[in-house]
């Protein structure tokens, strides 16, 4: 992760005369230094540790969607280098519910299990796969999908200290009864029309209150 490093090397001949050595050729002294055509060279150490990148999920690996959210994008990141074409494999599996309850299986379940391989071309730093979540009409606790990345290729690496390779998609219930007090209900569709209700004043006459609702 240091990038390319360079340094210079300087070459020199020892002073043989100080060592009591006479440098001669056929009895003729050879001047010291003339044997070096070049006495300085630059050495470059090419960093190949992370040039192809480290691949993982977003920080924390946590994704959230309502159960009626449809196709949920799962962003995968590539950092510490983006050279060359690399790939990463992914898969999903049923995760535990945060409160320890047994996940409710409804038809196909809470989501459509998926797996595959993402390709990052040269210079590409993020990609996306999708998890299809399945709506139901029952009140249920939050369900989770375990997300797993594995088998990086093309020189890419995985490193949990940089980006997590395991994550969680939380599927939130959208039934009315489960919407916490004070929060907007994403499933509420009032439609339009007329609503009637009656108010009674204590000890007084009966009155009728009419309210019209416009769906905007």
> Contact positions toward Ca ion, by CB under 5 A?
135-136, 140, 173-175
Q: Under 8 Å CB-to-CB from 170, ≥6 apart: which residues?
A: 62, 63, 64, 65, 98, 142, 143, 144
The residue to which tokens 């595959």 are assigned: 116
As measured in angstroms, the least distance from the Cβ of 186 to Ca ion is: 10
- Mapped onto helix, strand or coil, the DSSP state of residue 63 is strand
- Nearer to Ca ion by Cβ, of 191 and 203: the residue is 191
- Nearer to Ca ion by Cβ, of 135 and 159: the residue is 135
Q: Across the strands, what pairs with 41?
A: 9
As measured in angstroms, the least distance from the Cβ of 171 to Ca ion is: 9
**In terms of Cα–Cα distance, which of 155, 76, 60, 145 is closest to 117?**
76
According to DSSP, residue 30 is labeled: P
- Nearer to Ca ion by Cβ, of 60 and 180: the residue is 180
- Nearer to Ca ion by Cβ, of 144 and 174: the residue is 174
As measured in angstroms, the least distance from the Cβ of 176 to Ca ion is: 9
Tokens of 5: 């490093």
As measured in angstroms, the least distance from the Cβ of 191 to Ca ion is: 17
Residue with nearest beta carbon to Ca ion: 173
d(CA 91, CA 102): 21
d(CA 122, CA 110): 36
As measured in angstroms, the least distance from the Cβ of 135 to Ca ion is: 5
- Nearer to Ca ion by Cβ, of 98 and 123: the residue is 98
Q: Under 8 Å CB-to-CB from 14, ≥6 apart: which residues?
A: none
Q: Ramachandran region of residue 163, left (φ > 0), alpha (ψ -120 to 50) or beta? A: beta
- Nearer to Ca ion by Cβ, of 163 and 171: the residue is 171
As measured in angstroms, the least distance from the Cβ of 128 to Ca ion is: 25
């Amino acid at each position: 992760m240091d990038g390319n490093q360079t340094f210079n090397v300087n070459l020199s001949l020892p002073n043989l005369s100080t060592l009591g050595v006479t440098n001669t050729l056929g009895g003729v002294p050879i001047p010291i230094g003339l044997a070096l055509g070049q006495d300085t060279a630059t050495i470059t150490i090419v960093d190949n540790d992370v040039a192809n990148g480290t691949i993982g999920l977003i920080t924390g690996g946590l994704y959230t969607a309502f159960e009626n959210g449809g196709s949920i994008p799962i962003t995968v990141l590539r950092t510490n280098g983006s050279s060359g074409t690399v790939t990463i494999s992914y898969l999903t599996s049923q995760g535990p519910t945060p409160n320890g309850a047994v996940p409710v299986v409804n038809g196909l379940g809470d989501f459509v299990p998926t797996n595959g391989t993402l390709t990052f071309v040269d210079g590409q730093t993020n990609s996306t796969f999708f998890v299809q979540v399945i709506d139901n009409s029952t009140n249920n606790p939050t369900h989770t999908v375990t997300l797993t990345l594995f088998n990086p290729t093309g020189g890419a690496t995985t490193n949990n200290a940089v980006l997590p390779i395991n994550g969680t998609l939380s599927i939130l219930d959208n039934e009315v009864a489960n919407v916490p007090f004070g929060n907007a209900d994403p499933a509420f569709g009032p439609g339009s029309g007329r609503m009637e209700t009656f108010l009674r004043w204590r000890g007084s006459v009966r009155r009728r209150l009419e309210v019209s609702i416009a769906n905007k």
